[in-house]
Amino acid sequence: MLLSFCGRLVSANDKLQIMPKPEDLNYENGYELVKELRHDDIVEFVLSQIKQLRWPMVLFYGLNLILLFLIGAFTAGNIVHLYISWGLYWQFLAYGLIAGMILIIPIHELLHGMAYKLAGAPKVKFGADLRQMMFYASAPGFVAEKYAFYVVAFTPFILISLLFISGIVYGSMHVQWGSLVALFIHSTMCIGDFAMVNFFASFPGKEVYTYDDKQEKTSYFFLKKVQ
């Protein structure tokens, strides 16, 4: 999957010289505005998208249900066989929660920013909206097509998941437990990224473009009409 996304990113970079600018995205040039997303309304947008079962949300729910099952199975097994002491169980449960919910946030957003830069964005902005409990990386004024946005959205999820999976595969039993918890928490925290991709997936086979307007605090989504 990662190689596929990287291939899409290379393809997107090859097209940078002909990518439209924000001012080019208008009806006269063959683009239709399909969504204005005010940044104050992102939580409502995410909640609306998680109800739409397209492939990104099916993938999100499927992966997290598997992880939740594994957490339950480990806990049940520990009750029966005592893989690790209950002191270590609760200690590394707390470590996993802290790592998945707090410590990984700056790394997650930096990876978004790195993906934006690789896609050709000249400037990346980082910020937080504590009212919505949201942290973000954005590239104001940079137009991203659908597959470049997929790479930006999924890069943190894939790379950080690989980090925690390595802890599950190579760590001691208590490290495996903490890594499993951290993987589940981080995966659920990626719901906003999956929701954004889910919106793009509502236009299969279509060319979709997006950009952020810093002054308007709005993201715009345009569909290229068939000529």
pLDDT digits (tens, 9 = 90+) for 159-184: 999 999 999 999 999 999 999 999 99
Would you state the pLDDT for residue 227? 58
What's the rounded Cα separation, in Å, for the pair 127 and 123?
Answer: 13
Q: How confident is the model at residue 31 (pLDDT cuts 50, 70, 90)?
A: very high
Question: Which helix (H) or strand (E) is 198 found in, with range?
Answer: helix 191-200
Query: Global pTM?
Result: 0.88
**pLDDT of 182-199, one tens digit each?**
999 999 999 999 999 999
- DSSP helix/strand/coil, 140: strand
Strand pairing class (125-129; 31-38): unpaired
Q: How confident is the model at residue 220 (pLDDT cuts 50, 70, 90)?
A: very high
* CA gap 200, 221 in Å, rounded: 9
Is pLDDT above 90 for 12?
Answer: no
Q: Are 172 and 165 in contact (CB under 8 A)?
A: no
Domain boundaries, given as residue ranges, for the chain:
2-224
Specify the pLDDT at position 178.
97
- Measured distance CA(141)–CA(94) in Å, rounded: 40
CA distance 182 to 131: 24
Residues 83-116 pLDDT 10s: 999 999 999 999 999 999 999 999 999 999 999 9
Pick from 34-38, 203-207, 212-216: least confident: 212-216
Of these ranges, 10-14, 21-25, 68-72, the one predicted with the greatest mean pLDDT is 68-72
> Read out DSSP for 101-133?
IIITHHHHHHHHHHHHHHHT-S--EEEEETTTT
